[in-house]
Structure 1
Amino acid sequence: MCGQFGLAEAFNWSKFTKRLGLNDIDAPGLRFKDAFAPTNTISIITQQDGYQVRDAIWWLLLEETKTGFKANAKYATFNSKSSRLTSSPVTKKAFKQTRCIIPATHFVEGDGPKGKRYYHLLKPDRGMIAFGGIYRAWTHSKTGEHCFSASIITLPGHPKLKGIHKNSLPLMLPINQPEIAHDWLSPLIQDTQRFESRLQPVLYESLWALPIERPGSPTPIGDTFSIEAD
């Protein structure tokens, strides 16, 4: 994953949560932005003391400063590879106990070291992406400050996107299967083998791809084309 996604202000929160089977979640502080970048504060959905929307730093591994927290620059943890979820000490516990959903309307991908092209990817309904992620809770040893951090899980590349990003695909949970969202968020389900089928690179819904100038500059440089669902 290239490291950029967005949540447009036109996003229909009520429709999104209803399709996921997560009704009646208040989200007065839902964060909207056309281009979230790693270390930005994003919104995540968790199930600790009921379903909640929380602010989280988009970078799983943090370190303390004198007054708060910052991203640990030693490791790039805004994404977490599915192949290492159960073997890495950074992700193993989070994958078992603290999974989350990250709402989005679009994301950006690019591939190739030279002549690199970037693509703005979204669903034909212009919204309703539920990234599967993991999160951690942090408490500052001196100030007592509480905060959350999160990471988007990435899967092996999908053949249909090999010309866009051949190495990886963000985990996008199916929207119209509420039981999947319920199980994914439940802290009571700690047998991670249950999610093996979710960690395969599957396109549950079609995507539109628009070639753009570069991340952060969505100027189109080509025509939109469709990537059909599996």
Structure 2
Amino acid sequence: MCGRYSQQYTWAEVHAFSQPLTLTGPASNLQPHYNIAPTEMAGVLVPQADGSLRYERMRWQLVPRWWKKSLKEVPATFNARAEEVADKPMFRDAFRSRRCIIPASGFFEWSGPKGDRQPWYITAASGELLGFAGLYDRWRNPETGEEVPSCTIIVTTANSFMGQIHDRMPVILDRADWQAWIEEPREDLLRPAPEGPLRRWRVTQAMNSSRYKEADAIEPVEPEGGSASAKRGTIATCQGD
């Protein structure tokens, strides 16, 4: 699954990433978020009626607009499985009509046994942002009347590179597929990323806590007993054919 990710980019960077689509929204300084956990706020690219994208902040845990219980009773909807998204009640309405793109600098996954979990950071080898396939909705709290915008990241089976760590990964949309994803609920786009330019490295075990928010959350660390050269060697790149 995808239980943690990061967003550390400027408005200019996310604007360039959105091209050729037009990006609207508050063109202000965007604060970096190195360890976004479920129920926290995250940046989302939301399609508009004129074909542009609007940058909005949303709660990362989808709350469908028909939800009748409290916010605390929402189940774990921060991920939506690609094979269930069209039919599962928590996601199917949003899949039909409220699809979005979630820009990420990278995401985290874990390997190893319980009690000694090793966090890894996965990002684009090019240094560019990643565009996750997402869904969004707007729920109104019946007790306060407050509107709560929320989102989820769609996950699929892992490619072989990610499969060395975990059996699932976020759906990373090719830029050429953005328009198709926005216009139609295309299940065929919800596939593993190609065996192309992703890279990963070990990061601090402080990341085993969702409360750790420091900038070094995404920095490479050397394996226990390793050297500076071993530290560099923790970076693994998946090269395409």
TM-score (norm 1): 0.82
1:38-76 deviations in Å (ceiling 9; x for gaps): 1111111112434312221000137789xxx73535x21
| Unaligned segments of structure 1, at least 5 residues | none
Distance 2:118 2:8 in 1: 23
* Structure number having the greater strand percentage: 1
SS at match of 2:39: coil
Give the letter for the 1:22 counterpart: L
Distance 1:27 1:70 in 2: 27
Matched, 1:227 2:238: yes
Distance 1:168 1:211 in 2: 18
Give the letter for the 1:185 counterpart: I
Distance 2:101 2:24 in 1: 13
Query: Where do 1:188-227 residues align within 5 Å?
Result: 189=184, 192=185, 195-203=186-194, 205-214=196-205, 215=207, 216=212, 217-218=217-218, 220-221=221-222, 222=231, 223-227=234-238
> Cα–Cα, structure 1 residues 31 and 52, in superposed 2: closer, same or farther, change >3 Å?
farther
Distance 1:108 1:121 in 2: 6
TM-score (norm 2): 0.78
Distance 2:133 2:31 in 1: 17
How far is 1:31 from its partner? 5.5
Please say which of residues 132-141 and 100-109 is displaced more in the overlay.
Answer: 132-141
* Aligned equivalent of 1:3: 3
Please say which of residues 88-97 and 218-227 is displaced more in the overlay.
Answer: 218-227
1:166-221 deviations in Å (ceiling 9; x for gaps): x201011012x1xx2122223xx3xx3xx232122132741111112332444513
* Aligned equivalent of 2:130: 129
Distance 2:104 2:148 in 1: 21
1:87-135 deviations in Å (ceiling 9; x for gaps): 2100111111101101111111113443432211111232321011111
Give the letter for the 1:25 counterpart: T
Query: Where do 1:98-137 residues align within 5 Å?
Result: 98-114=98-114, 115-137=116-138
> Cα–Cα, structure 1 residues 227 and 27, in superposed 2: closer, same or farther, change >3 Å?
farther
Q: How many residues align?
A: 214
Please say which of residues 91-100 and 120-129 is displaced more in the overlay.
Answer: 120-129
Give the ranges of 4+ consecutive aligned residues of structure 1 lying more than 3 Å apart after TM superposition.
29-32, 62-65, 69-73, 111-115, 216-219
Identical aligned pairs, as a percentage? 23
Rg larger for: 2
